[in-house]
Protein backbone atom coordinates (compact mmCIF):
# COMPACT_ATOMS: atom_id res chain seq x y z
CA UNK A 1 0.00 0.00 0.00
CA UNK A 2 1.47 3.47 -0.85
CA UNK A 3 2.43 5.67 2.13
CA UNK A 4 -0.44 7.94 3.24
CA UNK A 5 0.03 11.57 2.17
CA UNK A 6 0.13 14.09 5.04
CA UNK A 7 -2.89 16.43 4.96
CA UNK A 8 -1.93 19.92 3.73
CA UNK A 9 -2.60 21.52 7.12
CA UNK A 10 -0.04 19.17 8.67
CA UNK A 11 2.77 20.58 6.51
CA UNK A 12 5.37 22.43 8.56
CA UNK A 13 9.08 23.10 8.48
CA UNK A 14 9.13 23.63 12.27
CA UNK A 15 10.78 20.30 13.24
CA UNK A 16 13.61 20.96 10.76
CA UNK A 17 14.54 24.43 12.10
CA UNK A 18 17.35 24.12 14.68
CA UNK A 19 17.20 26.33 17.75
CA UNK A 20 20.04 28.77 18.41
CA UNK A 21 21.46 28.35 14.91
CA UNK A 22 23.29 31.07 13.00
CA UNK A 23 22.52 31.75 9.32
CA UNK A 24 25.06 29.22 8.05
CA UNK A 25 23.62 26.47 10.27
CA UNK A 26 20.06 27.40 9.27
CA UNK A 27 21.04 27.18 5.61
CA UNK A 28 22.53 23.71 6.13
CA UNK A 29 19.41 22.55 8.00
CA UNK A 30 17.08 24.01 5.36
CA UNK A 31 18.83 21.88 2.74
CA UNK A 32 17.30 18.84 4.47
CA UNK A 33 13.80 20.27 4.97
CA UNK A 34 10.96 17.85 4.22
CA UNK A 35 8.24 19.99 5.82
CA UNK A 36 6.01 19.92 2.72
CA UNK A 37 6.03 17.98 -0.56
CA UNK A 38 7.66 20.79 -2.58
CA UNK A 39 11.14 19.49 -1.73
CA UNK A 40 10.65 16.30 -3.77
CA UNK A 41 10.59 17.58 -7.37
CA UNK A 42 12.85 20.60 -6.67
CA UNK A 43 16.61 20.42 -7.29
CA UNK A 44 17.49 21.92 -3.93
CA UNK A 45 16.39 24.27 -1.15
CA UNK A 46 17.05 27.91 -2.00
CA UNK A 47 17.73 29.61 1.30
CA UNK A 48 18.17 33.36 1.82
CA UNK A 49 21.41 35.09 0.82
CA UNK A 50 23.16 37.95 2.57
CA UNK A 51 24.62 38.72 5.94
CA UNK A 52 23.07 38.91 9.42
CA UNK A 53 23.93 42.63 9.64
CA UNK A 54 21.89 43.59 6.54
CA UNK A 55 19.65 46.61 7.22
CA UNK A 56 17.03 45.59 4.69
CA UNK A 57 15.45 42.21 3.96
CA UNK A 58 13.81 41.59 0.60
CA UNK A 59 11.19 38.84 0.62
CA UNK A 60 10.04 37.29 -2.67
CA UNK A 61 7.66 34.44 -3.43
CA UNK A 62 9.68 31.32 -4.22
CA UNK A 63 12.75 30.44 -6.26
CA UNK A 64 12.29 30.26 -10.01
CA UNK A 65 13.86 27.85 -12.50
CA UNK A 66 17.32 29.50 -12.44
CA UNK A 67 17.33 29.87 -8.66
CA UNK A 68 16.38 26.19 -8.28
CA UNK A 69 19.34 25.18 -10.46
CA UNK A 70 21.86 27.58 -8.90
CA UNK A 71 20.69 27.39 -5.26
CA UNK A 72 20.59 31.18 -4.80
CA UNK A 73 17.59 33.52 -4.65
CA UNK A 74 16.90 36.10 -7.36
CA UNK A 75 19.68 35.13 -9.78
CA UNK A 76 17.39 34.80 -12.83
CA UNK A 77 15.62 37.42 -14.98
CA UNK A 78 13.43 38.75 -12.11
CA UNK A 79 16.54 39.11 -9.94
CA UNK A 80 18.40 41.07 -12.60
CA UNK A 81 15.45 43.44 -12.97
CA UNK A 82 15.19 43.76 -9.19
CA UNK A 83 18.91 44.60 -8.85
CA UNK A 84 18.55 47.32 -11.46
CA UNK A 85 15.47 48.78 -9.77
CA UNK A 86 17.14 48.68 -6.34
CA UNK A 87 20.23 50.48 -7.63
CA UNK A 88 18.07 53.10 -9.34
CA UNK A 89 16.17 53.63 -6.08
CA UNK A 90 19.42 54.13 -4.16
CA UNK A 91 19.56 50.74 -2.44
CA UNK A 92 22.66 48.57 -2.84
CA UNK A 93 21.49 45.02 -3.75
CA UNK A 94 24.75 43.62 -2.32
CA UNK A 95 23.86 45.01 1.12
CA UNK A 96 20.39 43.48 1.31
CA UNK A 97 19.43 40.10 2.73
CA UNK A 98 17.39 38.44 0.00
CA UNK A 99 15.03 35.55 0.61
CA UNK A 100 11.68 34.02 -0.32
CA UNK A 101 8.50 33.11 1.55
CA UNK A 102 8.81 29.57 0.13
CA UNK A 103 12.23 27.94 -0.19
CA UNK A 104 11.53 25.40 -2.94
CA UNK A 105 10.59 25.92 -6.60
CA UNK A 106 7.04 24.80 -7.33
CA UNK A 107 6.40 24.00 -10.97
CA UNK A 108 4.48 21.92 -13.44
CA UNK A 109 6.15 19.97 -16.23
CA UNK A 110 4.24 18.11 -18.87
CA UNK A 111 7.17 15.89 -19.96
CA UNK A 112 10.61 15.20 -18.43
CA UNK A 113 12.68 17.38 -20.76
CA UNK A 114 10.06 20.12 -21.25
CA UNK A 115 10.30 23.58 -19.69
CA UNK A 116 9.30 23.75 -16.02
CA UNK A 117 6.43 26.21 -15.56
CA UNK A 118 6.26 28.21 -12.34
CA UNK A 119 3.22 27.45 -10.19
CA UNK A 120 2.27 29.74 -7.30
CA UNK A 121 2.63 28.12 -3.88
CA UNK A 122 -0.54 27.59 -1.85
CA UNK A 123 -1.17 29.46 1.40
CA UNK A 124 -0.58 26.18 3.24
CA UNK A 125 2.80 25.67 1.57
CA UNK A 126 3.79 29.24 2.46
CA UNK A 127 2.58 28.68 6.04
CA UNK A 128 4.61 25.45 6.23
CA UNK A 129 7.73 27.37 5.20
CA UNK A 130 7.09 30.28 7.61
CA UNK A 131 9.38 28.93 10.38
CA UNK A 132 12.39 29.48 8.07
CA UNK A 133 11.41 33.08 7.37
CA UNK A 134 10.75 33.65 11.08
CA UNK A 135 14.22 32.29 11.90
CA UNK A 136 15.83 34.53 9.24
CA UNK A 137 13.99 37.58 10.60
CA UNK A 138 15.04 36.79 14.17
CA UNK A 139 18.72 36.57 13.15
CA UNK A 140 18.94 39.45 10.67
CA UNK A 141 16.62 41.81 12.60
CA UNK A 142 16.29 44.05 9.54
CA UNK A 143 15.36 47.70 9.96
CA UNK A 144 13.02 47.31 7.02
CA UNK A 145 11.38 44.48 5.07
CA UNK A 146 10.61 44.99 1.37
CA UNK A 147 7.67 42.75 0.53
CA UNK A 148 7.82 41.66 -3.13
CA UNK A 149 4.34 40.70 -4.28
CA UNK A 150 1.26 38.95 -2.98
CA UNK A 151 2.70 35.63 -1.77
CA UNK A 152 5.30 37.36 0.42
CA UNK A 153 2.64 39.85 1.57
CA UNK A 154 0.19 37.13 2.57
CA UNK A 155 2.97 35.17 4.31
CA UNK A 156 4.00 38.19 6.36
CA UNK A 157 0.81 40.25 6.69
CA UNK A 158 -1.99 37.70 6.44
CA UNK A 159 -4.27 36.29 3.72
CA UNK A 160 -6.23 39.52 3.20
CA UNK A 161 -3.06 41.35 2.00
CA UNK A 162 -3.47 43.08 -1.39
CA UNK A 163 -0.40 44.61 -3.06
CA UNK A 164 -2.39 47.37 -4.75
CA UNK A 165 -3.71 48.70 -1.44
CA UNK A 166 -0.41 48.75 0.45
CA UNK A 167 2.36 49.28 -2.09
CA UNK A 168 4.78 52.16 -1.61
CA UNK A 169 3.77 52.82 2.01
CA UNK A 170 5.63 52.10 5.23
CA UNK A 171 3.61 49.68 7.37
CA UNK A 172 4.32 48.95 11.01
CA UNK A 173 3.24 45.49 12.18
CA UNK A 174 4.17 42.89 14.73
CA UNK A 175 5.48 39.85 12.85
CA UNK A 176 6.56 36.64 14.58
CA UNK A 177 6.59 38.59 17.86
CA UNK A 178 8.78 41.46 16.65
CA UNK A 179 7.75 44.99 15.63
CA UNK A 180 8.64 45.35 11.95
CA UNK A 181 8.53 48.11 9.34
CA UNK A 182 7.57 46.90 5.88
CA UNK A 183 7.29 48.44 2.43
CA UNK A 184 5.22 46.29 0.05
CA UNK A 185 5.63 46.50 -3.70
CA UNK A 186 4.92 44.41 -6.76
CA UNK A 187 6.89 41.30 -7.59
CA UNK A 188 9.59 42.04 -10.21
CA UNK A 189 8.22 39.17 -12.34
CA UNK A 190 5.00 41.14 -12.78
CA UNK A 191 7.06 43.86 -14.50
CA UNK A 192 8.55 41.24 -16.84
CA UNK A 193 5.06 39.89 -17.56
CA UNK A 194 3.55 43.33 -18.25
CA UNK A 195 2.47 44.07 -21.82
CA UNK A 196 5.19 45.84 -23.84
CA UNK A 197 3.35 49.16 -23.72
CA UNK A 198 2.89 48.92 -19.91
CA UNK A 199 6.32 47.65 -18.92
CA UNK A 200 8.06 51.01 -18.50
CA UNK A 201 5.32 52.33 -16.18
CA UNK A 202 5.32 49.06 -14.21
CA UNK A 203 9.09 49.30 -13.77
CA UNK A 204 8.92 52.94 -12.74
CA UNK A 205 6.24 52.04 -10.18
CA UNK A 206 8.54 49.41 -8.70
CA UNK A 207 11.42 51.92 -8.52
CA UNK A 208 9.14 54.52 -6.88
CA UNK A 209 8.11 52.00 -4.18
CA UNK A 210 11.75 51.06 -3.60
CA UNK A 211 12.57 54.75 -3.22
CA UNK A 212 10.09 54.83 -0.32
CA UNK A 213 12.08 51.98 1.21
CA UNK A 214 15.36 53.82 0.63
CA UNK A 215 13.97 56.95 2.31
CA UNK A 216 12.69 54.91 5.27
CA UNK A 217 16.25 53.64 5.79
CA UNK A 218 17.94 57.04 5.41
N1 LIG B 1 11.06 35.03 -7.90
C2 LIG B 1 11.07 35.03 -6.54
O3 LIG B 1 10.08 35.36 -5.90
N4 LIG B 1 12.18 34.67 -5.94
C5 LIG B 1 13.27 34.31 -6.57
O6 LIG B 1 14.25 33.99 -5.91
C7 LIG B 1 13.25 34.33 -7.99
C8 LIG B 1 12.13 34.70 -8.64
Tens-place pLDDT, residues 50-100? 999 999 999 999 999 999 999 999 999 999 999 999 999 999 999 999 999
Does a structural domain hold residue 25?
yes
pTM score: 0.95
Query: Which ligand 1 atom is nearest residue 187's CA?
Result: 3
Host domain of residue 19: 15-217
Does a structural domain hold residue 89?
yes
CA 2 / ligand 1 centre spacing (Å): 34
Does a structural domain hold residue 142?
yes
CA 180 / ligand 1 centre spacing (Å): 22
CATH at residue 96: 3.40.470.10
Does a structural domain hold residue 6?
no
Does a structural domain hold residue 74?
yes
- Reported residue count of the chain is 218
Question: What pLDDT shows up at residue 9?
Answer: 74
Residue 57 has phi, psi (to 5 degrees) of -115, 130
Does a structural domain hold residue 3?
no
- Cα(78)–Cα(95) distance, rounded to whole angstroms? 18
Q: Which residues line ligand 1 (CB under 6 A)?
A: 60-64, 67, 73-74, 76, 78-79, 100, 189
Does a structural domain hold residue 1?
no
How many domains does the chain contain in total? 1
Query: Which ligand 1 atom is nearest residue 46's CA?
Result: 6
Please state the rounded mean pLDDT for residues 152-178. Answer: 96
CA 1 / ligand 1 centre spacing (Å): 37
Question: What pLDDT shows up at residue 75?
Answer: 98
Does a structural domain hold residue 65?
yes
Amino acid sequence: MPAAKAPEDAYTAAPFVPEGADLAALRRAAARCRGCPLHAPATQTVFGAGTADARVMLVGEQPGDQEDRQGEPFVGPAGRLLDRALAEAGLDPAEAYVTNAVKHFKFTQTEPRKRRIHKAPSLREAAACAPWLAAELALVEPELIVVLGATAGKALLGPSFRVGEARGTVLEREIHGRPERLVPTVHPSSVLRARDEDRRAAYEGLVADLQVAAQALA
